[in-house]
Amino acid sequence: MCPTPDTQYPMPRRVKCLALFSGGLDSILAVKVVQEQGIEVLGLTFTTPFFGAKKAEEAAETIGLPLLKLDITEEHFAMVKDPRYGYGRNMNPCIDCHTMMIRKAGELLDHYGADFIITGEVLGQRPMSQNKQSLHIVAKNSGFNGRVVRPLSARLLPETAPESEGLIDREKLLDLRGRGRKRQMEMAARYGITSYTSPAGGCLLTDLMFSRRLRELLNHNPDPHPREIELLKTGRHFRIENGVKVIVGKNRRDNAMIADLARDEDVLLKVTEYPGPCALIPHGCAEECLLMAAGICAHYSDAPKDAEVEVRFRKGKETGILRATAAPRSLIDEMMI
Ligand code: SF4
């Protein structure tokens, strides 16, 4: 009996890779360059309180890329607090963060039947995290050295196993280097990609103000609840006496978010007779601090700055009224984080 075609001439298995996919232009181009070689690409994106998957989801949909989403909050936050390779300009521990992402992708290779990992990193694009040494450290420390291909700069980097094994054609990979975006723009035009965001856009750890708040929070509480991280994203923040935190909404959206994040143990404050923001004291506070917080709340209301005004407070089911004068500008500046 003749063997079935399948057993006599087995179909070659299609090469497959996992792409670290942020949705930024470089990650899109890396996917495109690899797809052009007939390689199947599965996108992988991560979520933490510092960055979400929205940008990646939108970009993946635009280019028709199947996308996996992985929440790495716990492990990522532990790393953010004490990164082995330190921080970039703000609280962004990019070398450790990339390492973790590549390791996570590596751990999924077998499960998804993928042969290697690709990233959109470009040699020299970021001085600290994307120089030759950092790229090497990231791949090595991830535990998947040799399975990481950077299609946009591969020809400037040592040959990787997928290249030497013939899974991917090195000659068709690129030699992008540096911070210039000209070649990326040309490629985007060629692929018909019209909407994309800047590299690193969307990561709060690269934001100066957020980083300042996060650092201050960690100094007071090395193990904050995820809600406290969420609160860092909204309003104006103050540290008053006894380590008490006060958060004052800047606009309606902030006020709504603060009210939404408030818990029974917190105190919410609001000036009653004049329009103004709401203020939150996470975990409440002693009476003298309450008065100071009411003064801050009054400062940002439309109340006259030199008169006592009524401020309503609420803690769980308990409510009350106190009278406070708007805190002076000098005190506001001193306490603002
Ligand atoms: S910019 Fe943010 S998400 Fe990107 S590698 Fe750095 S820390 Fe991680």
Nearest CA to ligand 1 atom 5: 94
**Which CATH fold would you assign to the domain 5-202?**
Rossmann fold (3.40.50)
- CA of 52 from ligand 1 middle (Å) equals 11
* pTM of this structure: 0.89
pLDDT of residue 1: 45
| β-bridge pairing 278-281 and 245-248 | antiparallel
Q: Which of 325, 313, 318 is nearest to 246 (CA)?
A: 313
Atom of ligand 1 nearest to the CA of 94: 6
Instruction: Give yes or no for a contact between 297 and 279, defined as CB atoms under 8 angstroms apart.
Output: yes
Distance 98 CA to ligand 1 centre (A): 7
Cα 174 to Cα 140: distance, rounded to the nearest angstrom: 22
- Dump the DSSP string for 155-181: GGSPPPHHHHTTSS-GGGS---BSS--
Return the bridge partners of 210, or none. none
Residue 6's CB: how many other CB atoms inside 10 A? 8
CA of 20 to the centre of ligand 1 (A): 12
Predicted local distance difference test score (pLDDT) of residue 3: 46
Cα(312)–Cα(326) distance, integer angstroms: 14
SS3 content of the chain, % helix, strand, coil (to 5): 40, 20, 40
For ligand 1, atom 6, the nearest C-alpha belongs to 94
In the block, which residue shows the tokens 């985007």? Answer: 188
Taking CA atoms only, the protein residue closest to ligand 1 atom 2 is 203
The torsion of the CA quartet 203, 207, 212, 215, rounded to 10 degrees, works out to 20
The residues with which 16 forms a beta bridge, in sequence order, are 40
Could you tell me the CA-to-CA distances from 102 to 9, 60, 223 in Å, in that order? 35, 19, 26
Alpha-carbon gap, residue 153 to 318, rounded angstroms: 61
CA–centroid distance, residue 202 to ligand 1 (Å) = 9
Q: How many residues does the chain have?
A: 337
Say what the pLDDT of residue 217 is: 96
Per-residue pLDDT, 276: 96
End-to-end CA distance of the chain: give it in Å, rounded: 81
> Domains of the chain: which residue ranges?
5-202, 234-335
Q: How far apart are the CA of 203 and the centre of ligand 1, in A?
A: 6
pLDDT by residue, tens only, the chain of 337 residues: 444 555 566 677 899 999 999 999 999 999 999 999 999 999 999 999 999 999 999 999 999 999 999 999 999 999 999 999 999 999 999 999 999 999 999 999 999 999 999 999 999 998 888 999 999 999 999 999 989 999 999 999 999 999 999 999 999 999 999 999 999 999 999 999 987 766 556 899 999 999 999 999 999 999 999 999 999 999 999 999 889 999 999 999 999 999 999 999 999 999 999 999 999 999 999 988 999 999 999 999 999 998 999 999 999 999 999 999 999 999 999 999 9
CA proximity to 173, closest of 151, 158, 190: 151
DSSP 48: B
Cα 122 from chain centroid?
A: 19
By the 10 Å C-beta count (0-12 exposed, 13-18 middle, 19+ buried), 325 is classed as middle
Distance 217 CA to ligand 1 centre (A): 20
List pocket residues of ligand 1, CB cut-off 6 Å. Answer: 51, 92-94, 97-98, 200, 203, 205-206
